[in-house]
Chain A
């Protein structure tokens, strides 16, 4: 077993562990925002580790560029999905503000409403 294979193994196991941790978080956290927070782990860092592991394991520079592209695409698309889900969640009342430390959006909306009324 050479150095490349050891690096590949470490990266793969770390990526898979992150995926499992995120899955447990998604299953156990109490509200939608907390679950979204847990869900971003395998989508970005987990994917990066898995792709690094795959690149080390396959050991070909051509494929490594493709794997870099995979990570770039995921980095571009994951925030879009998270933004849409978060916005829809807030608008349909799935955000529990009693669990939040600071809820500036609700405060601002409340202030805007009061200003409109006065």
Chain B
């Protein structure tokens, strides 16, 4: 296999993976991330195919089979537990907001402890 073809394919797949990762990060909902992760698995299958061809690793074909079989499990599991989430909960919290939420939770637990006593 000519190195030029390999380089072109690798560049295309890398670009695809980066663009998909952007969507995984951005969301906005869990299901969008699930769809993007499915595309990422397809990209991974493509990368494995390239590696198997370039290094002559014929054993990697079995890994491809496994990935094609179980790649959908994550999507099905996450879709099963998807709930409607309000706009505010969808984004990733900033550090300050996360700290505030944690403090509120701690306070909650403490007041619950006092109640039980």
Chain A residues near B (Cβ < 8 Å): 1, 5, 8-9, 12-13, 15-17, 19-20, 22-24, 26-27, 32, 35-36, 39, 42-43, 46-47, 50-51, 53-54, 57-58, 60, 63, 66-67, 69-71, 73-74, 77-78, 80-81, 84-85, 87-89, 91-94
- Report whether A13 and B5 are in contact in the complex, using a CB–CB cutoff of 8 Å: yes
A2 to chain B, nearest CB (A): 12
Q: Which residues of B approach A to under 8 Å, CB–CB?
A: 1-2, 5, 8-9, 12-13, 15-17, 19-20, 22-23, 29, 31-32, 34-36, 38-39, 42-43, 45-46, 49-50, 52-53, 58, 61-62, 64-65, 68-69, 71-72, 75-76, 79-80, 82-85
Contact assessment for B53 and A16 in the assembled complex, using a CB-CB cutoff below 8 Å = no
- Cβ of B46 and Cβ of A73 under 8 Å apart? no
The reply to whether A47 and B45 contact each other, CB–CB distance below 8 Å, is: yes
**Structural contact, A27 and B65, CB atoms closer than 8 A:** no
Rounded to whole Å, the gap between the CB of A30 and the closest CB of chain B is 11
- Give A89's nearest chain B residue, CB to CB: B31
With A39-B36, A92-B84 given, is the CB distance from A63 to B68 under 8 Å?
A: no
Give the chain B neighbours of A74 by CB distance below 8 A. 68, 71
Closest 3 A/B residue pairs (Cβ): A16-B12, A23-B16, A81-B72
Which of B32, B39, B45 contacts A23 (CB under 8 A)? B39
Residues of B within 8 A of A13 (CB): 5, 8-9, 12
**Other-chain contact of B65, A23, A69, A94 (Cβ < 8 Å):** A69
